[in-house]
Amino acid sequence: MPPTIIQDINQHNFHEVLRPTPFHPRVDHNCLTKNWMDWNGYLTARTYDTLAAEYFAIRSSCSVMDLTPMGKYRINGPDANKFLNRLVTRDVSMLRPQRVSYVVMCNDEGKVLDDATIFHLSEGDYRLCCQHHQLDWLMISSLGMDVSIEEETHDVAALAVQGPTSASALKLAGIDEIEQLKPYDILHTQLHGFEVMVSRTGYTGDLGYELWTSPDNALNLWDAIFEVKQKGFYDIRTIGLSALEMVRIEAGFILPGDDFNTAETAIRADRVRSPYEVGLGWVVNLDKPSFTGKRALLDEKKKPIKRRLLRLEVSGNKAPQDSFLYAGKGGKRIGTIMTQIWSPILKANLAMADVEFAGGSQPNDIWAEIYYQKELEWRVSWAKGKVWNKPFWTHPRRSASPPGSY
């Protein structure tokens, strides 16, 4: 058995069902609801206080979320770039050091395994971050290449700092160069004597950053950020996964495993989806050399699209959770609501919906059949859907460089 595996076994407390992150002493103190959930084997807060307060912290001030459970893999070696360019559908051959790229991984049939971000940390040294565990797929895909792949999920502590005042708050915390970062830039810096990597990335559709450091420095990083709040400069709030779910749907970002079945987990062949079917055709480059799934995607591109993950606004105030969709009120069933929220800022039901396309054309009259309970009695209503071809919500500050001072 490799020494690294033996060391991990020795360090693991088998009496713990879920592993605490390096930030857990602060997370547990702030989590008033004790509403926990599992994220990649880590104990993660669903909500800390109230969902409304956390949501508006992202959209109106500054929010902090523990990002440590995200899968993280260090990739380097002579064939590192070649390996990554074959692994993902996007052309990352020219990704410069200190830059980040959003990518998609497919299997040989051109179906989505996961989306990810590739961080080019320094020349030939990369970090790949994704929602789900993908070490086995990375190792299989690396056969025949001179590349080193190491999982570092447990070795890197991370925070997402998002919202209009995030840049201003981080500057007061001691990251003076924060205003230099453009979207998808990386900064290596020192904060109170320890190393921190800052990337201008996020999952909220707003101005925001992600901070990466050693687990030994996790609490120091947390305290440096929240000291800004304690001094009365800015309101900074912790947020959980429920608030993140709201803002990512507003921003039109997909979540593999929730918005659609991944190729790794689906049992039936008709339940998997290609990048084109989940609205990610823009990260597929069919002109680059061979990559996993290219042949299947070339064939699919020649045919009319059969279905698509659509951004759908559903009228009324009834939550269309798991609702079936129909072509016309009471017509033929054409799809399903996969995930949905009520948007406080847009005052509307927003959803990600899996919809069939007849003859390659998008339906122009979509209705949701909504079941709801009133006084212990189940009732049904119909609500019309409106397709959005762009994000439900966006703001210029997300891409402003330098970011505005709020």
Consult the annotation and say whether 210 binds a ligand.
yes
Is the preceding peptide bond at 402 cis, omega within 30 degrees of 0?
yes
Q: Which residues are annotated as a binding site for substrate?
A: 210
Binding residues are: 210
